[in-house]
Chains A and B, each alone.
Chain A
Amino acid sequence: MGVGVTGLLTAVEPVPAEALSGRRLSHLDVLESEAVHVIREVVAESARPVLLFSGGKDSAVLLHLARKAFWPAPVPFPLLHVDTGHNFPEVLAFRDALVARLGLRLVVAAVQDSIDAGRVVDRPGASRNPLQTVTLLDAIAANGYDAVFGGARRDEEKARAKERVVSVRDEFGQWEPRNQRPELWNLYNARHSPGEHVRVFPMSNWTELDVWRYVAGESLELPDIYYAHRREVFERAGMLLCPGEGSRPRADEPVRERTVRFRTVGDMSCTGAVSSTARTPAEVAIEIAATRITERGATRADDRASEAAMEDRKREGYF
């Protein structure tokens, strides 16, 4: 036959030689620069930006990227923590120490306040994760925030995979996935009407593994619970949960001490630990590269509820 080979079609405009030589950026360099570009662009185009900060690894990386974007000037916006009240104490301690060390301004919006005000109803024994949406939207409205940075990544979940980097929320905070703004080149459009706001995800293109390689490369500090430690846990639906407020073991769920670490850090009642001996970011990266279970599948009880659990929460205004 003789024709069935690659290069059947000829190049009319070969790549210029100088483009192939010279300094090459690694994929982490590119992701970092892209995120810094997004942060600068949105801050330049918005009036009252804020950064959602939970003390988790993604928000810690996001804050680090924001510091890089404006250095040597300080980060020109406050942090907002939507606090479910079901926190890991190590994470709160990390949050407060970091905020103090960097001289940042932290706004805490407590789900408990929303419950006390009758805005949401707490179900005893259930996760407060879905309740956060009301608290978040109330905090955005009360403070007039018009650009809300979050550390969400598209690789986390399939509804997130459909999300824009700069994503408009209507005056009810809702996301309409079928009517999103096209996003081209590195041109981001943060324009919105009064009452609307934009959610901004500078780390959209990062994977969990990228985050850990970046944490290792930048020597970023994270809460200790991301690394292997001894902890009392009980098993429920294949997940290792910590006994505590909002997650009490039943009689048939014995509590045992095991060597674990957390892959995600969220509401304590629905965030599971994984068995691990990884004690450094580099060791975690090796573990993540070899894992066969996704981050949310391993650790988030709330995302197992249904195929569209995240899509439904996002539509209502969740992170």
Chain B
Amino acid sequence: MELLRIATAGAVDDGKSTLLGRLLYDSKSVLADTLAAVERTSAERGDEQTNLALLTDGLRAEREQGITIDVAYRYFSTPVRSFILADTPGHVQYTRNMVTGASTADVAIVLVDARRGLTEQSRRHAFLAALLRVPHVVLCVNKVDLVDFDAEVYVGIAAEFAAVASRLGLPEVTAIPVSALHGDNVVHPSARTPWYGGPALLEHLESVTVAADTNPADTRLPVQYVIRPQSPAYPDYRGYAGSVASGVLRVGDPVTVLPSGLRTTVRAIDTFDGPVDEAVARMAVTVRLADDIDVARGDVLVGSGRSPRVTQDLAGTICWMQSAPLRPGARVRVKSTTRTVRAVVRSLNSRIDVRSFTEADATELGLNDIGRISLRTAAPVVVDDYADNRVTGGFLLIDDATGTTAGAGMVARAS
């Protein structure tokens, strides 16, 4: 069984929580006692129907205010696939949550209200899905029951979204007409949309192709930890523990250790369950090398394919995630793969308007702003362009004083 990660985004009233509730409920992923609690709360609140949004709003403040505050993770499975669903709030001020959910997503679900069509929010969601390079986007045109299941409404919105997607370079988009409240085309195909020939949402999620590795040609393994038991059984063992970021690492492969540039070959790939001949993307393994060379946490073992960049000049698009604004000259820490280095913001090149998708000069980036910056790091980092590699191309900006995660960046060559 495969794992599929989904991120959902929608504005406050688009019915996102209801859609997820419907997906969980109709796929029989909600158990009886959970449902009973939701029914009880719904009745106490005077809701006409069982409020399926209560299935996902987990915090007291969320239930009280009827809004989703923070990313919530939900789990469900069908006989075909196991799903992790990151439910992200749609408020304007919570871009950071959408970026968070989208960073690991295989599929992003963007929700629009059929009566209102694309809004500033939907454009923002599409933009963020494109920015984070989510491989697939599903547009759910919700509340089609409120437009009398009118095909033209759906077609108009889908076409408008297609234009946005193509402008953003979104790779694959599927548009589905749904009614989350009544369940049309969520888990079960609807008889009320005879003009729609595509799959219901769940069928689509079960069948959409997932690439386990978005950059299979370039092999990288960032070293997390050096394993040296120094025990009677393993007196001289020295292994480099880490997760394969992309590509395939095989025993006997020549590898280059970056940033040092030292070259050696893979002598063994060890796991608790015994040695393996090869390790593919996402596998956590321990690599032994043929030569006794200096390798430490933060180094990257690079195998076949193109070489990553080793640089102290890091440029990229960032999403700023804390209220104190980011200005040129700011000192931060950059965490890239397993390496954390000090850095200074050399320049703030632009702010991106997520409504018009245009760039303009900026003197600072505020909370939830997206912009292009250039950094100078105190030590070299080993990176790929985010467009080529979502693992080695993403980085965190960490506030030097508080240690909190202040921003997220995606490596791109400065233009």
Give every chain A residue within 8 A of B243 (Cβ-Cβ): 33, 36-37, 186
- Tell me the bound Cα distance from A159 to B155 in angstroms: 39
Kindly name the residue among B97, B171, B176, B204 whose own CB sees the greatest number of chain A CB atoms within 10 A: B171
Tell whether A15 pairs with B209 under 8 Å between CB atoms, given A26-B1, A29-B283, A307-B37: yes
- Interface contact B155-A1, CB-CB below 8 Å: yes
- Interface contact A25-B70, CB-CB below 8 Å: no
- Interface contact A27-B82, CB-CB below 8 Å: yes
* Interface hit among B309-317, B342-350, B400-408: B400-408
Tell whether A40 pairs with B241 under 8 Å between CB atoms, given A187-B396, A298-B33: yes
- Tell me the bound Cα distance from A189 to B212 in angstroms: 24
- Interface contact B197-A6, CB-CB below 8 Å: yes
B224 within 8 A of A: yes
- Interface contact A4-B197, CB-CB below 8 Å: yes
Tell whether A31 pairs with B272 under 8 Å between CB atoms, given A187-B395, A294-B31, A307-B41: no
- Interface contact B403-A293, CB-CB below 8 Å: no
- Interface contact A184-B103, CB-CB below 8 Å: yes
- Interface contact B75-A40, CB-CB below 8 Å: no
A44 within 8 A of B: yes
- Interface contact B73-A154, CB-CB below 8 Å: yes
- Tell me the bound Cα distance from A193 to B404 in angstroms: 10
- Tell me the bound Cα distance from A187 to B393 in angstroms: 11
* Interface hit among B9-17, B112-120, B160-168, B252-260: B160-168
A74 within 8 A of B: yes
Q: How large is the interface on A (under 10, 10 to 19, 20 to 34, 35 or more residues)?
A: 35 or more
- Interface contact B338-A72, CB-CB below 8 Å: no
- Interface contact A177-B59, CB-CB below 8 Å: yes
In the complex, chain A residues 44-97 whose Cβ is within 8 Å of any chain B Cβ: 44, 67-74
B173 within 8 A of A: yes
B382 within 8 A of A: no
Tell whether A27 pairs with B1 under 8 Å between CB atoms, given A36-B284, A73-B229, A298-B33: yes
- Interface contact A207-B75, CB-CB below 8 Å: yes
In the complex, chain B residues 56-93 whose Cβ is within 8 Å of any chain A Cβ: 56-61, 63, 69-75, 77, 81-82, 84
B362 within 8 A of A: no
Q: Which of B34, B212, B225, B333 contacts A43 (CB 8 A)?
A: B225
- Interface contact A6-B176, CB-CB below 8 Å: yes
- Minimal beta-carbon separation of A269 from chain B (angstroms): 21
Give every chain B residue within 8 A of A313 (Cβ-Cβ): none
> What are 28 sample pairs from A and B whose C-beta atoms fall under 8 A apart?
A4-B151, A4-B155, A4-B195, A5-B196, A6-B197, A6-B204, A7-B174, A8-B174, A9-B172, A12-B170, A24-B212, A27-B3, A27-B81, A36-B243, A37-B284, A40-B241, A71-B227, A71-B286, A72-B234, A72-B237, A154-B75, A155-B74, A162-B72, A177-B70, A193-B403, A207-B77, A293-B33, A294-B31
Closest 10 CB pairs of A and B: A6-B198, A158-B58, A191-B403, A297-B33, A27-B3, A19-B211, A9-B173, A36-B284, A73-B229, A184-B103
Q: A23-B278, A155-B74, A205-B75 are in contact. List 7 more A-B contacts (CB 8 A).
A: A4-B193, A19-B213, A33-B282, A161-B73, A187-B394, A294-B34, A311-B60
